[in-house]
Copies of this chain bind each other. A is one copy, B any other.
Amino acid sequence: MSTQNPIFIPGPTNIPDLLRKAVDMPTIDHRSPLFGKILHPALEGVKKVLKTATAEIFVFPSTGTGGWEVALTNLLSPGDKVLATRNGMFSHRWIDMCQRHGLDVIVVPQEWGDGIPIQAFEEILTGDKSHQIKAVLATHNETATGVRSDIGSLRKALDQAKHPAMLLVDGVSSIGSMDFRMDDWGVDVAVTGSQKGFMLPPGLAIVGFSPRALEEVKTAKLSRTFFDVRDMAKGYANSGYPYTPPVGLLNGLKLATEMLLEEGLDNVFARHHRIAEGIRQAVTAWGLRLCAVRPELYSNTVSAIRVPDGIDANRIVSHALEAYGVAFGTGLGDVAGKVFRIGHLGSLTDVMALSGIATAEMVLVDVGLPISLGSGVAAAQNYYRRGNGHAQKIAS
């Protein structure tokens, strides 16, 4: 693989040069005042990206998966009931984690490619008169299928059901790339990582806890130490950590939030939409279709593209790597071999996206699909041309 070509996996993303330099720091004393000047602005920046005025942010040296464990172990007790759906690999894994921690998960089945079954959730919540369900788990953007669910509507469903369950949202592949409104949507815990919308190397679990969630922490009985937000909060109050903090990544997080806020979140989201839409236009031109079953589900950070029967989607990914040095994402779980994925989040330009489309096109022809070379590129070019009034000013 050439590290010169842009990367099209759905995270970690291409890393802007400025962020690489921010992460690559000489050692500082993390117990000195200098550390607080990195930590606090980073936390404040994350709050703004999450659109929350009231939540507290905690950043663990971990990953998004660790962020899930932070959410579960700090809020729940063994045997607690939680409500979730399985509509992709990442929602599947979160359910698995719940079960391994002794939670009682009500799993609503759902087609991979579809979103959270909000109606079904509402019915279950309405039926749960004794409020046994402690939390609702939602994967905002299913990275495996390229499906974005509607968290605002999910919140309305909870409200409609007058159910007090907490709302825990995995925003790993949405936050910083697609609109996320922690306060407006009444999200109790939001989870993400450093390597997606924040365009950093992996290594951080970034979570936001609402005031209500912070209350629940006091009574939650699942065991935790490394992931305990109480120790973390105590540390932050003294501008420190309960253990050695990942200073460089935090310094990168500080700058990443500055870059996102300087570009303007609306511009960031519009850029992600534009790039994604160009890729979708290409997919249509190729005569292929997305795994996501309806346009309102289309993700602006990753597209899972179904391949015709008889074609092994994994071969597309391996051939792209071997022949052209370009990395796409394979299908996972139920859709393994049936889809390949183009990640289009983080630090990306229309021009980079075009090289991904052009490469995918060559690969599709190479594996035998009856596609005209240039057809998908032309569709995307046509779309991007109209959008070129928007300067391609993403940070670099």
Smallest Cβ distance from A221 to chain B, in angstroms?
10
Tell me if A223 and B373 are in contact (CB < 8 A). no
Indicate how many identical chains form the complex: 4
Tell me if A355 and B366 are in contact (CB < 8 A). no
Q: How far is the CA of A195 from the CA of B243 in the complex (A)?
A: 12
Tell me if B362 and A385 are in contact (CB < 8 A). yes
Checking B11, B16, B243, B377 against A63 with a beta-carbon cut-off of 8 angstroms, the contacting residue is B243
Given A27-B14, A65-B242, A243-B65, decide whether A4 and B396 contact each other with a Cβ distance below 8 A.
yes
Given A63-B244, A193-B244, decide whether A325 and B17 contact each other with a Cβ distance below 8 A.
no
**Per-residue interface assignment for chain A, residues 5 to 42, with 1 indicating a CB less than 8 Å from any chain B CB and 0 otherwise:** 11101011111110011011111111110100000000
Q: Residue A160 at the B interface, CB < 8 A? A: no
Tell me if B330 and A358 are in contact (CB < 8 A). no
Residues on B with beta carbons closer than 8 Å to the beta carbon of A16 = 4
Tell me if A97 and B322 are in contact (CB < 8 A). no
**Per-residue interface assignment for chain A, residues 190 to 228, with 1 indicating a CB less than 8 Å from any chain B CB and 0 otherwise:** 000101000001110000000000000000001111111
Size bracket of the A interface: 35 or more
Given A226-B66, A358-B358, A388-B366, decide whether A1 and B325 contact each other with a Cβ distance below 8 A.
no
Q: How far is the CA of A298 from the CA of B27 in the complex (A)?
A: 25
Residues on B with beta carbons closer than 8 Å to the beta carbon of A30 = 12
**Per-residue interface assignment for chain A, residues 52 to 82, with 1 indicating a CB less than 8 Å from any chain B CB and 0 otherwise:** 0000000001111110110000000010000
Q: How far is the CA of A271 from the CA of B16 in the complex (A)?
A: 27
Interface-facing stretch out of A105-113, A288-296, A303-311, A346-354 = A346-354
Interface-facing stretch out of A43-51, A117-125, A134-142, A245-253 = A245-253
CB-contacts of A332-364 with B (<8 A): 347-352, 354-355, 358-359, 361-362
Residues on B with beta carbons closer than 8 Å to the beta carbon of A144 = none
Tell me if A244 and B202 are in contact (CB < 8 A). yes
A sample of 17 more A-B contacts (CB under 8 A), given A1-B29, A62-B62, is A1-B28, A2-B349, A3-B28, A4-B352, A5-B351, A11-B244, A12-B247, A15-B26, A17-B25, A61-B202, A65-B226, A65-B242, A66-B226, A351-B358, A354-B355, A354-B358, A361-B381
A interface residues, Cβ below 8 angstroms from B: 1-7, 9, 11-17, 20-21, 23-32, 34, 61-66, 68-69, 78, 96-97, 100-102, 193, 195, 201-203, 222-228, 242-249, 321-327, 329-330, 347-352, 354-355, 358-359, 361-362, 365-366, 372-375, 377-379, 381-382, 384-385, 388-389, 391-394, 396
